[in-house]
Amino acid sequence: MAYQSITDQQLRLYMTDLKNHSQCTSAARAGFSERTARRFDADPTPPSQRKIVHGRTVSDPLEGYWENDILPVLENDNALQAVTLLRYLQGLHPLAFPDDRIRRTLERRVRQWRALKGPERDIIFRQTPEPGYMAQSDFTQAAELEVTISGAPFPHLLYHFAMVYSRWEHVGVVLGGESFTALAENLQHALWSLGGVPQNHRTDSLSAAFRNLTRDECEDITKRYEAFVGHYGMDASRNNRGEAHENGAVESQNRHLKKAIAQALILRGSRDFASVAEYRRFIDILVARRNRQRTQAVEVEQMYLKPLPPRRTTDYTEVIVPVTRMGGFRVKSIFYSAPSQLIGQRLRIHLYDDRLDAFLGSTLVATHPRGRGRNDGHRVHVINYHHVIHALKRKPQALWSSIYRDSLFPRTEYAQAWEVLQHSLPRRDACRRMVALLFIAHDQACEAELAHLLADDLGSGLIPDPKSLAAQITPKHTALPKDVVVSHPSLDSFDALLEARA
């Protein structure tokens, strides 16, 4: 018990017990420490008659320096930290402040000054959510989930859409960065999954979507986003830069979502998925399970949502590219293959987050998974071997030094077969065999089956032979019956069916 809180009654009890007991025992019976007892032995004045003196017990180490040196610069810019002010003092008075001994005192003094005389601070006004009024979107990093695809690291973002009132959510896996395409595509999926349109859609500043863009490109994306929300009849709003709490409904759910995904991955027993599609199904099932817990609130909210428009709107970036003599086209420094018949034509490309569709007029002529640039300076090629196999069959030796040779193989088994062929056979024979294998996969539509056969041969230490492999996958010819008898039912049977129905 503190020395100042001792009562007169405790002191009288202590003094009485002291006649028959030791100092330690008497103090314990009175309810205070032996140290306090020694103080009363030295000065037996009752506590009620003591005058409590408030004030410093040591001299102020900042006396004279606070008013003259620190306060002027702090009032000029209150963002200065205490440690910066300490270094400033040490520069002015190196002998008075040779070390950081007064750092805690200075931090306490600055904190007290800000509380009493500092500038006004922003206040967060909590809002009562209105059903059907606001939805919020955000992108969040997913590296902490440590997800892999076929054993390879899978860097990606999660697009998170949340209704403020019901907390209904939609989650999309984003392969690239924060972009208008990723936002528009996933937001459109969310609205159609929800079955209605909120009055207001809020995002953060979307600074990442505008990074490295020219002013004209930024204005173009802004106009496209305004057209997008206008198509759905929503009001678009953005929270102020650095004020994440203004997008708080989805920001807070980001943490809960990633925690739920991490827990589900633990229960699954593995963080590795065979494909991106399998990982997306995993996310969709988890989110659907979370939304089932919000059914009642969603039913209330859906009564206030605006109806969806008759059709969807553009949620991709469109570019026009020519098909070159190299049998492909280039989009954002990535080379994509195209059917050779399209050389010299100009294609209209619909660029999504995870794929691109190529159109000649209104006809879809090619679809590719979207390629991403590498940080090591190597060019990236996205090649569909079906587009080039006929030209390659006429020029098999072109395979050896082709710049997109390693991107040509549709499966890892084909790449492994090429490694064996180029080390085991002369260049001419290796190219011919590899091209023959690709042509078999194309001509007989047996890419997966041939890959399994290649794996068996490679596992047995055999050099892949196209003729023997083709013989194993060629379908057996079966003889058709010469005479086929077809019996026609009588018309009376139909009358019987109609009578039975009547």
Query: Would you say residue 380 has pLDDT above 70?
Result: yes
Q: Are 287 and 171 within 8 A, CB to CB?
A: yes
pLDDT tens figures, 44-96 = 888 878 776 666 667 888 888 898 899 998 888 888 899 999 999 999 999 88
| Alpha helices (H) along 355-409 | 385-394
Q: What is the pTM of this model?
A: 0.65
Mean pLDDT for the stretch of residues 9-28: 89
pLDDT tens figures, 174-204 = 988 888 888 889 999 999 999 999 999 988 7
Query: pLDDT-based confidence at 220, cuts 50/70/90?
Result: low
Task: Name the 3-class secondary structure at 170.
Answer: strand
Place of tokens 């936002």: 183
Residue partners of 435: CB distance under 8 A and separation at least 6: 389, 392, 393, 396, 399
pLDDT tens figures, 104-153 = 999 999 999 988 888 887 776 676 778 989 898 889 999 999 999 988 99
Query: pLDDT-based confidence at 367, cuts 50/70/90?
Result: very high
235-238 and 200-203: which strand pairing? parallel
Query: Would you say residue 205 has pLDDT above 70?
Result: no
Cα gap 418→436, rounded to integer Å: 12
- State the chain's mean pLDDT as an integer: 86
Q: Which of 459, 392, 384 is nearest to 420 (CA)?
A: 459
272-273 and 148-149: which strand pairing? parallel
The pLDDT assigned to 289 comes to 93
Q: Are 1 and 30 within 8 A, CB to CB?
A: no
Q: Which residues pair with 363 in a beta bridge?
A: 360
pLDDT tens figures, 303-323 = 999 999 999 888 888 899 999
Cα gap 31→6, rounded to integer Å: 9
Cα gap 203→388, rounded to integer Å: 44
> Phi first, then psi: what are they for 334, rounded to 5°?
-110, 135
Query: pLDDT-based confidence at 366, cuts 50/70/90?
Result: very high
Q: Are 347 and 356 within 8 A, CB to CB?
A: no
The pLDDT assigned to 245 comes to 47
Q: At what angle do helices 34-42 and 8-17 cross, to 10 degrees?
A: 90
pLDDT tens figures, 384-396 = 999 999 999 999 9
Count helices and strands (H / E) in the chain: 18, 15
Quote the percentage of the chain above a pLDDT of 70.
89
Tokens matching residue 369: 């998974």
Q: Are 135 and 163 within 8 A, CB to CB?
A: yes
Q: Are 129 and 164 within 8 A, CB to CB?
A: yes
Residue partners of 339: CB distance under 8 A and separation at least 6: 365, 366, 387
